[in-house]
Amino acid sequence: MSLRLPSEIVVEDVLPTLRALLARELATHGLTQEEVAGHLGVTQAAVSTYVSGEPELEPRIADHPRTQATVESVAVGLESGEMDGYDALAAVLELVRAFEDRGPICELHEEAMPGLEGLGCDLCVRGANPELRTERAVLDDVREAARVLATSPGVAAAIPNVGTNVGTALPGAADVADVAAIPGRIYEMGGSVEVPANPEFGASEHVATTILAAMAVDGERRGAVNLATDDALLSAAGARGLDRMEFEAGYEDRGERLTEQFAEHGAVPDVLYHRGAFGIEPITYVLGETGAEAARLAAELVGDAAEA
């Protein structure tokens, strides 16, 4: 993976665009190229190049409304004397920091360093703190789980009509937003497993609700995947000695009811299933300490069921 610092993106892509835009805007306010060069800290030759239409601008920076507003404000301030160099620098820094907070600089950084894509990276804003590392580990786990489901034989046939999802919760998760899953669900197409997007937090209510209920009884059970309920798969789970538990499909307060049933059961089961209800497709959840662990177990059960 190529290593590119955010500061490189700012220097190579953002600042040339901002300088060119400021040079052109200042020129429209009647400043000479020498005066513009003094304000921007560049040579008169560079200003001439900027004003003539070169170099090419980065459109995601140049066309952004916030860029246009900042450039106009700084140009007016410098031309009128209401701003000095310090004020202009402060305005440009504020723009850059705004663009580093999941703005166009993030987009440019992801293109230059593809390994960042889909991570919701906050490095420029917060730095590499432990919370962000934990979030990244959870997202990576769901990616691994999705790869397991997509590459394991027979899983496509086990995906319910409503789709499959797999989730992993942050340690100590309190609500759905603390559980990462696949937006739009995983689905079957032409006999293959299709994963439509990178994982995000808060992307699945049903899987997240099941995981949160499990964590309320056993904080180490932070992962789950759902499949279609199938007697062969349930038998395969029984043959492995896994703990199975059936629950009702139709109640609204599912999270609370599941927590109560897990407590009464004395443990969080390995396999949780229901037989459906009116308008509700039968679904089985395989639970694990992480989503990737649950996905691997689910794939093994699908394989066992196929061989039975």
Mean pLDDT per 10-residue segment, the chain (308 residues): 73 86 88 86 87 81 89 88 86 85 75 68 58 84 96 96 96 95 94 93 94 97 97 97 93 88 95 93 97 98 93
Q: d(Cα 61, Cα 42) in Å, to the nearest integer?
A: 20
Question: What's the pLDDT at 124?
Answer: 62
Question: What's the pLDDT at 7?
Answer: 77
Question: What's the pLDDT at 85?
Answer: 83
Q: Is the dihedral of CA 153, 158, 162, 166 positive or negative?
A: negative
Question: What's the pLDDT at 78?
Answer: 86
Q: Helix crossing, 291-307 with 130-151: angle to 10°?
A: 10
Instruction: Tell me which fold the domain 130-307 belongs to.
Output: L-fuculose-1-phosphate Aldolase (3.40.225)
Question: What's the pLDDT at 226?
Answer: 98
**Amino acid identity for residue 201 in this structure:** F
Q: Where are the domains of the chain?
A: 6-123, 130-307
Question: What's the pLDDT at 213?
Answer: 96
Question: What's the pLDDT at 126?
Answer: 54
